[in-house]
Chains A and B, each alone.
Chain A
Amino acid sequence: GAVVSQHPSRVICKSGTSVKIECRSLDFQATTMFWYRQFPKKSLMLMATSNEGSKATYEQGVEKDKFLINHASLTLSTLTVTSAHPEDSSFYICSALGAGVYNEQFFGPGTRLTVL
């Protein structure tokens, strides 16, 4: 199957700093990528849809100025958590939309963010 990488896998930062997370599709081009966050024992919550070359579409309740998304190429989308606070601590997962007719998503390994 298609491979999606995510970097970093784990980050610990101080409150007030900004953190950038990269999501790359390694062996296919992805015009659409998704960013999720997941709390313990909960399912994935879609934060935004990232389309190459255009602005991201954010889900209701997700602050676009807080979570900056850039999809500059067909293989890379980035999520920047600006001025992170402890409540932003979570597991962030990206996915890339496959080219198959059934629209499968291929997930990155996730980034565990801890804000102190």
Chain B
Amino acid sequence: RKEVEQDPGPFNVPEGATVAFNCTYSNSASQSFFWYRQDCRKEPKLLMSVYSSGNEDGRFTAQLNRASQYISLLIRDSKLSDSATYLCVVNEWGTNAGKSTFGDGTTLTVKP
């Protein structure tokens, strides 16, 4: 079983749609969580950190459920520019501080 699992998609949605991505992680020692987006042939860029209380940034909402070891990303009112691969990233603290485990990514295509 992978340490971080994501639905690979692809998700093909029309502009304006709401889309949700899920991610599960297996290491209960994980302490910090992120969503990155990666455009084709580019480096990953931090989209948002995921806080225990959940957090929202404009059209993007991230949620964390530690009991179920589950992270989600909700995108509302999808734009064409949201088309990308979204990576779920999980970090440990302590001796492995900063060492990230990446999911394989979920591909989103927003169509006109």
Which residues of A are interface residues toward B (Cβ below 8 A)?
1, 32, 34, 42-44, 46, 49, 91, 93, 97, 102-110, 112
CB distance from A26 to the nearest CB of B (A): 14
Quick check: A105 and B43 within 8 Å, CB to CB?
no
User: Is there contact, CB below 8 Å, between A107 and B45?
Assistant: yes
Are A1 and B46 closer than 8 Å at their CB atoms?
yes
Which residue of chain A has the shortest Cβ distance to B99 in the bound complex? A49
Given contacts A43-B87, A43-B104, A102-B49, A107 and B43 within 8 Å (CB-CB): yes
Q: Using Cβ atoms and an 8 Å threshold, which residues of chain B touch A93?
A: 43-44
Binds A, one of B14-22, B69-77, B90-98: B90-98
- Complex: chain B residue closest to A100, CB-CB: B49
Given that A32-B98, A34-B100 are contacting pairs, would A104 and B34 also be in contact in the complex, using a CB cutoff of 8 Å? yes
Expressed in whole angstroms, the minimum distance between the Cβ of B43 and any Cβ of chain A is 4
Q: When chains A and B are docked, how far (Å) is the Cα of A1 from the Cα of B102?
A: 21
Shortest C-beta distance, B52 to chain A (Å), equals 11
8 smallest beta-carbon distances between A and B, as pairs: A107-B43, A97-B98, A103-B98, A102-B32, A43-B104, A43-B102, A110-B43, A44-B102
The smallest C-beta distance from B58 to any residue of chain A, in angstroms, reads 16
* Interface range on chain B (Cβ under 8 Å from partner): 20 to 34
- The minimal Cβ–Cβ distance linking B84 to chain A, given in whole angstroms, is 13
Shortest distance from the beta carbon of B66 to any chain A beta carbon, whole Å: 15
Contact with A along B8-45 (1 / 0, CB 8 A): 00000000000000000000000010100000011111
Asked, given contacts A103-B93, A104-B34, A110-B43, whether A46 binds B100 with beta carbons under 8 Å apart, the answer is yes
The docked-state distance in angstroms from the alpha carbon of A72 to that of B99 is: 20
Q: Which of A1, A43, A107, A109 has the most CB of B within 10 A?
A: A43
**What 17 new A-B contacts, CB under 8 Å, besides A44-B87, A91-B41, A103-B98?**
A1-B46, A32-B98, A34-B98, A42-B104, A43-B105, A46-B99, A46-B100, A49-B98, A103-B32, A103-B91, A103-B93, A104-B34, A104-B46, A105-B46, A108-B43, A109-B42, A110-B43
Are B97 and A103 in contact (CB-based, < 8 A)? yes
Give residues 57-93 of B contacting A (CB, 8 Å).
87, 89, 91, 93
